[in-house]
Amino acid sequence: MAKNGIVPVQLSLTEGDFFTLWAPSWREHGTEYQAFLGKGDRIFVFASRAELLAFVEQEPRHDLSSHPQWATFAEHAAARITPSERHHYDLVGMPAALADRPSHHNVGVVGRNLHMARSLANVAGAEPVQKFFAHHMVLSNVERGGEHFQNDLPLWTTIGRVVLDNWDDVIDALDSSVQLQHVNAGDAESRIESAIAAREAAKAEEQAKRERIEEEADPYDLTAWAAAGIDPIKIAIDGKQVYTLRTYVAGQPVFLGRFGEINTFTSSKAMLRWLAEHNEHDLANVSTWEDLMLRINAGELEVKVHDDNTYSFNGIARDIETGVDAVDTEQMGRAYELMADAADWAQDDSLNSFFLANPRMQDYLSYMLGKNRISGYTPTPPFQEHAQGWQELEQMLTRRMTK
């Protein structure tokens, strides 16, 4: 049931279908209230939604005007004044649902109509209806839903008999509780139609926008890996291809492993099997790790590697030796990024020590990757020494990997 809002409703009573507004529940100063459009115990109803809108626009004083959301509702009343199908209450015809089997639909219809009848009676002070509910507590079973009656058909029959014997008196009391208001609707109906059309157009546009975003979205963003912020990575190096995991915590890389050794696996399935049996690694301390482990232990997680997390060292040393123009600097940059991350995570000075011992290699990489270029420095052949230096960097990385 709607809470804290104002709901347009359609009521079917003896004299026909009527429209009004209902505030099912709201709290103010610690007290819970409910109200209908009206004054005191007088509930106002209207023959059309157009007359209801005209009244809302013309009459500022009524019981709903003190509702905390009234100003917002009234500002957009033309678009909100039409009841949804769920808020059509056929109070006169409700017993027919009790004559049929207790399906989810029928139990729901009966439950909503009983709730509406009770609400109308409580607001209007309709004593016969209040006594009806007070004397027949069996009616509260309807709130349990359709499943409750699947194994208790006699209870459904009992409720039907209670309603059949008393419903005419309930309807008579409700008929007396509402006051039909006659209002000059003017062009209210056309404004309602325009507001609904504009709202539907806005919904269609929003839906189209969501669909465009979904189509353009990276599928990886929908994976559990992306949600956890822990990424599978694939490394092609030294004639083999391996998998591992990496994340960043406070901007610092954290790999799957411990004490500077990266756990690597020749297949993604082997990595998942290992993870299901081992938790002594640095990633186990990451706050979202448990989210992944729940999926891994349930067999629900597959390894998906984003293109940005694929690193290939294949051919880089050969290309370096061939010449500057032969090197794919994007491939080299990504490979160097991985090596630097591994060194940062291991918290050792091996990379810095290497560059201190091989300053020309540092100059070469700075030039190729466009970082901190030395003024006047341009790589010149032969490049065998640079290729050998790169291979030493690769070996630093592979020595960190489990065999």
Asked if 153 contacts 103 with a C-beta cutoff of 8 angstroms, the reply is: no
Confidence class for position 375, pLDDT limits 50, 70, 90: low
Q: Which pLDDT value is given to residue 1?
A: 41
pLDDT at res. 282: 96
Per-chain mean pLDDT for the chain: 92
**Mean pLDDT throughout 26-30?**
76
| Residues linked to residue 20 through DSSP beta bridges, in sequence order | 9
Which is nearest to 46 in space by CA: 177, 179, 173? 179
pLDDT at 4 over 70: no
CB 387 within 8 A of CB 317: yes
Would you mind telling me the total number of residues written for the chain in this entry? 403
Instruction: Count Cβ neighbours within 10 Å for each residue of 29-39 and write b for 16 or more, e otherwise.
Output: eeeeeebbbbe
- pLDDT one-digit tens code per residue, 202-254: 999 999 988 887 777 778 888 999 999 999 999 999 889 999 999 999 999 99
Give the integer Cα–Cα distance in Å for 142 and 156: 8
What predicted TM-score, i.e. pTM, was given to this entire model? 0.56
Predicted confidence at residue 118, as pLDDT, reads 95
Interatomic CA distance for residues 344 and 347, integer angstroms: 5
Residues 335 and 316: beta-carbon distance below 8 Å? yes
The more confident residue out of 286 and 25 is: 286
Would you list the domain boundaries of the chain? 7-180, 225-400
pLDDT computed for residue 159 by the predictor: 94
| Higher pLDDT, residue 135 or 3 | 135
What contacts 24+ positions apart, CB below 8 Å, involve 160-163? 160/95, 160/98, 160/99, 162/136, 162/138, 163/94, 163/95, 163/98, 163/139
